[in-house]
Structure 1
Amino acid sequence: MQISRSKGEKLFDLANYTVLLIISIVMLYPFWHVLVRSVMSYDEAIQSGLHLFPQTISLEAYKYVFSNGGLLKGIYVSVFVTVGGTLYQLLITAMTSYALTIKELPGRNVIIIMIIVTMFFGGGLIPYYLLIKNLGLIDNLLVMILPAAISTYNMIVMKSFMDNLPKELEESAMIDGAGYFRILFTLILPLSVPVLATIGLFIAVGQWNNWFTAMLFLNDQDMWPLALILRDILVDNNTELTRQTGYVSESYLLGDSIKMAVVIISVIPILAIYPFIQKYFVKGVMIGSLKG
């Protein structure tokens, strides 16, 4: 039976949808603007005014980007750093979180407090740089992966999620002779897919957009990730990387279309991943935040 709704409720829904529509347009328009500018012809792009749709679609900017050796290397480096860093951090975070859920762990509370303290206090940039230098990670691509082994926030979220799992399953596995490692990899992790997907997205976005670490420790431009190359093009307006190509187009050299094309290319991978883990995203965050 359909429930009748009052005029006030209908007006509220109309106002609510209108506000949400306006907010969506405000949030989506910058991305749409960048996309439109990336496929504009040079003559149209240099014209002033608002461009909602391109008059003619030109893929010259993307052709230029994918013919640029420096930019392609940056894409490969970013993929390697993102995949490797995400798997590495997820493994360390899962092992640490599970260990801290074991109440029989000696000094468990002290360890948790020591880890939480790192959220509020750090050694500073100079000691960190000296540490990386002494470890021999200067101009080493592993500097983008190894030092960022774990995030305290991610560890707390995953630990809270694992605390909510039924302890009876773990006890039954122990009775059957399973050790902690076997319980973690065959029982706990399969049940923790929502929080793993959620934290994996956080880590992947951070790794993909990480340009600051590369700027500090990677002097060789062949090791630069796409994020640092994009920053170099947009902020410093550096022409060195954009000149390393056999594709010659003077009108597109560092034009707005190339800049916008690089932005779109850097955003698409994360947008492509998100729909596949969206169903886990809210569940992972909500369940992981029930207990501290």
Structure 2
Amino acid sequence: MSAKKALSTSNHDRGSADLTYVYPVVSRRAGGVSVGINLNPNNACNWRCIYCQVPDLTRGSAPPVDLPLLEKELRGFLHELLHGDFMLTRVPEGARRINDIALSGNGEPTSAPEFAQVIELIARMRGEAALPETVKTVLITNGSLLYRSEVQQGLRELAKLNGEVWFKLDRASEAGMQRINDTRTSMAKVHDNLIAAIALCPTWLQTCWFALDGEAPSRQDEEDYLGFIGGLLREGHKPQGVLLYGLARPSLQAEAPRLSALPVEKLQAFAECIRASGLEVKISA
């Protein structure tokens, strides 16, 4: 691996390890190194969130995954993290631990037809590297494809790895999702996909809360969100909690000049409303 500058919570360069699929980040939410797996090296996603930090984002799906290459990269990089000098030379002191393996990257990872095979591959590599159970495997997803049988099979396998799903829910109305995520997904479909996720694997909601055109999310946005999670709970579908976060790095979408971070007090106030409904909230400003 070539010598490059040290990683930080603001440097999430997905080419930092000179690999196709595997990249490390220092996660502000996790407090350690997250081993990222990018199944969308073509920068294609079926949504277009206006805060997205992916350059040259296009509409589409993941290309075919070269499973032997992914296996080689993941095996080699885990070995480097555990036995090489990457942690010492590239990671800030205090964050020199593997926190998780995260399927995220430059698009929707569940759009890869090989998704279930990828989860099985990760399980093998975890076993080879003797990673402890405390190193989680995390799927970061917009949840839009969780109705697919192969994706659900992947979630069943993920659950066996002490895995988690981080299910994107930035707004809980169709108008809000169109405005923030540039998708026409119905709330009924979000509801059904989220129920499927919760049934198959421990699932957190991940919610990006920020100002648009200088305006914080409206009271209606808050009520829509609280009403949605309240309905889930009344139906008996309880997620692990909510990962509530603000803007840490600049968007690379056309809307970037219109976005700004909220004061942490605003995040804390909304978090208290969510907690009052009965869910745990973790805040990353």
TM-score computed with the length of structure 1 as normaliser: 0.21
Name the larger-Rg structure: 1
TM-score computed with the length of structure 2 as normaliser: 0.22
- Higher relative contact order (CA closer than 8 Å, sequence separation 6+): 1
More strand by share: 2
